[in-house]
């Protein structure tokens, strides 16, 4: 495979929500047996067929950068994390369906990435209301994934799913709710798999769209 | 009648402390997590409330507030409740939450946590044997037995923390020890980190592509299934999968390297921030304090050594001695009784407040560093246990700082403990902890600059 562009997608979320399990599931199609605490950033690669089935089909490597840590980390950790946020093509926001705080922290996470240029020290003041304009301006495709669906009791499911639907609307993003220990949620042909490939298709559409990202855009062609 | 008034005062103050502990828990400790088990929060706040009440009773003792018999009653009750919590409730809940985290034992949580609790009780009891803590004429389940053991653990903890704190405080405050970090250092390290990530990515791309081609050709997967599959994999292992394991090993090594580089970069950023902070006015003030504290630390180590070597346990407290010195040597005459009460109140008050504040700050830092969403309950309960034991042994040791007439209540309530033993034990552990902290910090300081010299 000669000319494959570089596509970088960040996977963000609080510690313990299941980002590492999710990335492992997306890239290896297997369940992660022994999840352990992510220090720094762990990367994995998913092979994605852009516009599958059409004559314009192209195969891309999508790099999933799983950045560890919490929003309340020390500012030195936040400054170090900023180095991973360069030239990002897409963001997957992961939250734990059983933990409301992790959903609320997603606003802070997304602001941390989107504001990385204006706030180099990474210190953010969160005043409760998120800034809708920031998200309207944003050109980077977002996807919201809720994990640990199996741990939500049947009776509470409706209420939780309504809440997450609002969350996804705020981010102007699609949402997927699943259980990372069960591969059938992302089985080929399921609605989740369709949403996922739609999201991944949005990103490499870049040769067609104009991108207004600050920061460097590394266009590496392996010809 | 007066007993009722006194009790209502005590209960109101206990409720205030409980509320403070509750708020501290919610706002500081658990601000990034969701509280799902309110039991944990209740236990933490109750431990905090009863510990603070003990200190409050000491202050009341010095100031002479409340009726002395009601004070005695509340002391006893307080002590019983605290011991109940520290020895029975918290260890049981720690075992319970610990077992709930393990998936396999989820069904039989209760019997396993009882088992853990019984093991804890056994070791807790055995702890008292090697120490000459108390005379053997007391019964098995008396307050003295329990307090003596709790006291040993608590005093050890206090001495360890004091020793480390005494050494670490000047080390962090003084800018003399700050390594010189420039922006170019940080940029160089970041570049290395990104290069390592790129190498990991290119290797993973090769692996992903190799796996895809293998899958498309319908070759045997990594895990051989069945008897025949195993035979096949032994005799003719596909070259593809061999390559994969080789690359996987390289990737593992690179990932370890990336973690190291990440942690080093965090360290550099932290040092840079400290350098900037030291240039501010506040930083200069702390730097000066650091010199002062280093002298204090050296003096304390010296005094601890003297105490041990000359087998000396101070008989008089600092307040009375200070007053004696001023009266005898400086010739200043003043009302000893009046002043000793007020000065010991202030001194004891300062000791209590700084130790509570210091402990809460240390606990919070510790909690942020090591907790995750799975283990947060267990860790908070452990911290509550440490806090309770720490406060109980503070009461034991604070007896030394008070004049004789105020010591009576502690001696009465706690029974015939060998207080001198605890002070000796504190000195020994303090010395050991301080010296090993010095050694540890020296080694860490030496090692750090060498890491950044390598290209």
What is the pLDDT averaged over residues B324-335?
A: 69
Q: A-chain residues within 8 Å CB-CB of B265?
A: 80, 83
- CA–CA gap between residue A156 and residue B425 (Å, rounded): 55
What is the pLDDT averaged over residues A81-90?
A: 83
- CA–CA gap between residue A105 and residue A127 (Å, rounded): 12
The predicted pLDDT at position A215 comes to: 36
The predicted pLDDT at position B27 comes to: 80
pLDDT digits (tens, 9 = 90+) for B241-259: 667 788 888 888 888 888 8
Beta strands in B172-310 (DSSP E): none
Q: How far is B204 from chain A (nearest CA, A)?
A: 6
Going by C-alpha positions, the residue among A38, A6, A46 that lies closest to residue A21 is A38
The pLDDT confidence band at residue B453, using thresholds 50, 70 and 90, is very low
Give the rounded percent of residues in chain B with a pLDDT score beyond 90.
0
Looking up tokens 């990034």, which residue turns up? B32
Q: How far is A45 from chain B (nearest CA, A)?
A: 6
pTM of the model: 0.69
Two structure tokens written together for A156:
């509470």
- CA–CA gap between residue B348 and residue B325 (Å, rounded): 20
Q: Is A6-118+125-207 a CATH 3.30.365.10 domain?
A: no
> Is 80 exceeded by the pLDDT of residue B19?
yes
Looking up tokens 């170019």, which residue turns up? B184
Q: How far is B271 from chain A (nearest CA, A)?
A: 9
What is the pLDDT averaged over residues B435-444?
A: 85
> Is 70 exceeded by the pLDDT of residue B358?
yes
Contact B208 A80 (CB under 8 A): no
Give the rounded percent of residues in chain B with a pLDDT score beyond 70.
78
CA distances from B286 to B124, B169, B206, B362, B369 (A): 41, 10, 53, 18, 24
- CA–CA gap between residue B375 and residue B179 (Å, rounded): 35
| Burial degree of A7 (CB within 10 A; 0-12, 13-18, 19+) | buried
Looking up tokens 């996977």, which residue turns up? A11
Specify the 3-state DSSP secondary structure of A58: strand
Contact A177, A93 (CB under 8 A): no
Please name the helix (run of DSSP H) or strand (run of DSSP E) that holds residue B264, with its range, or none. Answer: helix B239-278
Q: A-chain residues within 8 Å CB-CB of B276?
A: none
Q: State whether the Cα torsion A39-A44-A50-A53 is positive or negative.
A: negative
- Out of B201, B267, B368, the one facing A45 most closely (by C-beta) is B201
Beta strands in B242-290 (DSSP E): none
B211 to chain A: closest CA residue:
A28
Two structure tokens written together for A135:
């998200």
Two structure tokens written together for B448:
């750090």
Question: What is the domain partition of chain B in residue ranges?
Answer: 1-176+298-447, 179-218+238-284
- CA–CA gap between residue B188 and residue B452 (Å, rounded): 10
The predicted pLDDT at position A85 comes to: 84
Count of A-B CB contacts under 8 Å: 79
A interface with B, Cβ–Cβ below 8 Å: 1, 14-17, 27, 37, 39-47, 61, 63, 65, 70-72, 74-77, 79-80, 83-84, 96, 99-102, 105
The predicted pLDDT at position B233 comes to: 57
Interface test with B, best of A42, A63, A79, A98 (most B CBs within 10 A): A79
| Cβ neighbours of B237 (radius 10 Å) | 13
Two structure tokens written together for B90:
């918290």
Phi/psi-derived region of residue B316, left when phi > 0, alpha when psi is between -120 and 50, beta in every other case: beta
- Out of B194, B261, B373, the one facing A15 most closely (by C-beta) is B373
**Distance, first Cα to last Cα, chain A:** 9
The pLDDT confidence band at residue A223, using thresholds 50, 70 and 90, is very low
Crossing angle of helices B376-398 and B90-101, rounded to 10°:
160
- CA–CA gap between residue B131 and residue B141 (Å, rounded): 18
pLDDT digits (tens, 9 = 90+) for A144-188: 888 887 777 778 788 888 888 888 887 777 788 877 777 777 777
Q: CB under 8 Å to B36, separation ≥6 — which residues? A: none
Q: How far is B428 from chain A (nearest CA, A)?
A: 35
Contact A43 B197 (CB under 8 A): yes
Contact A168, A144 (CB under 8 A): yes
Contact B173, B293 (CB under 8 A): yes
Please tell me which residue, B128 or B436, carries the higher pLDDT value.
B436
User: Does the model's ipTM exceed the 0.85 cut?
Assistant: no
**Distance, first Cα to last Cα, chain B:** 79
Please tell me which residue, B407 or B117, carries the higher pLDDT value.
B117
């Amino acid at each position: 495979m000669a000319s494959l562009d570089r596509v970088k997608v960040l996977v963000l979320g609080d510690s313990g929500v299941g980002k590492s399990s999710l990335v492992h599931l997306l890239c290896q199609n297997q369940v992660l047996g022994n999840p352990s605490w992510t220090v720094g950033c762990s990367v994995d690669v998913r092979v994605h067929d852009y516009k599958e089935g059409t004559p314009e089909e192209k195969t891309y490597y999508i790099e999933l950068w799983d950045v560890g840590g919490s929003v309340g980390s020390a500012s030195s950790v936040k400054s170090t994390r900023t180095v991973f946020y360069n030239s990002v093509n897409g963001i997957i926001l992961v939250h734990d369906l059983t933990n409301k705080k992790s959903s609320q922290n997603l606003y802070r996470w997304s602001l941390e990435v989107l504001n990385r240029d204006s706030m180099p020290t990474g210190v953010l003041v969160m005043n409760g209301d998120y800034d809708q304009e920031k998200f309207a301006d944003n050109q980077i495709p977002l996807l919201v994934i809720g994990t640990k669906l199996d741990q939500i009791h049947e009776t509470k499911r409706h209420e939780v799913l309504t809440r997450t639907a609002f969350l996804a609307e705020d981010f102007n993003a699609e949402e997927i709710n699943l259980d990372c220990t069960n591969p059938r949620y992302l089985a080929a042909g399921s609605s989740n798999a369709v949403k996922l490939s739609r999201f991944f298709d949005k990103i490499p559409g870049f040769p067609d769209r104009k991108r207004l990202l600050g920061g460097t855009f590394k266009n590496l062609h392996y010809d | 009648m007066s007993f009722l008034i006194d009790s209502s005062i005590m209960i109101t103050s206990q409720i205030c402390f409980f509320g403070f502990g509750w708020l501290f828990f919610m706002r500081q400790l658990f601000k990034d997590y969701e509280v799902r088990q309110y039991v944990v929060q209740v236990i933490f706040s109750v431990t905090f409330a009863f510990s603070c009440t003990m200190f409050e009773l000491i202050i009341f003792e010095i100031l002479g507030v409340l009726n002395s018999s009601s004070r005695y009653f509340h002391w006893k009750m307080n002590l019983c409740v605290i011991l109940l919590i520290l020895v029975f409730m918290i260890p049981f809940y720690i075992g319970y939450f610990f077992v709930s985290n393990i998936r396999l034992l989820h069904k039989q949580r209760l019997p396993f946590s009882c088992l853990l609790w019984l093991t804890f009780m056994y070791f807790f009891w055995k702890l008292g044997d090697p120490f000459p803590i108390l005379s053997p004429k007391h019964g098995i389940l008396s307050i003295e037995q329990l307090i003596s053991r709790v006291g040993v653990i608590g005093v050890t903890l206090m001495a360890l923390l004091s020793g480390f704190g005494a050494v670490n405080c000047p080390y962090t405050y003084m800018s003399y020890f700050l390594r010189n970090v420039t922006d170019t250092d940080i940029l160089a390290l970041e570049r290395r980190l990104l290069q390592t990530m790129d190498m990991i990515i290119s290797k993973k791309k090769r692996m992903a592509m190799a796996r895809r081609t293998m899958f498309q050709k319908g070759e045997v997967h990594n895990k051989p299934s069945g008897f025949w599959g195993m035979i096949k994999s032994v005799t003719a292992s596909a070259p593809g999968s061999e390559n994969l394991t080789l690359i996987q090993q390289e990737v593992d090594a690179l990932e370890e390297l990336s973690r190291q580089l990440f942690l080093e970069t965090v360290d550099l950023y932290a040092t840079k921030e400290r350098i900037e902070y030291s240039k501010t006015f506040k930083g200069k003030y702390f730097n000066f304090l650091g010199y002062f504290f280093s002298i204090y630390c050296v003096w304390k180590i010296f005094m601890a050594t003297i105490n041990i070597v000359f087998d000396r346990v101070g008989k008089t407290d600092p307040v009375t001695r200070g007053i004696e010195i001023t009266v005898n040597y400086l010739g200043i005459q003043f009302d000893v009784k009046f002043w000793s009460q007020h000065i010991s109140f202030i001194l004891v008050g300062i000791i209590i407040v700084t130790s509570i504040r210091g402990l809460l700050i240390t606990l919070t830092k510790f909690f942020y560093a090591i907790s995750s969403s799975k283990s947060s309950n267990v860790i908070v309960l452990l911290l509550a246990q440490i806090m309770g034991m720490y406060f109980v042994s503070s009461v034991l040791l604070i007896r030394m700082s008070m004049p004789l007439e105020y010591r009576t209540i502690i001696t009465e309530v706690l029974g015939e403990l060998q207080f001198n033993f605890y002070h000796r034990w504190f000195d020994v552990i303090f010395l050991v902890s301080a010296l090993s902290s010095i050694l540890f910090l020296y080694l860490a300081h030496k090692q750090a600059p060498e890491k950044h010299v390598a290209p």
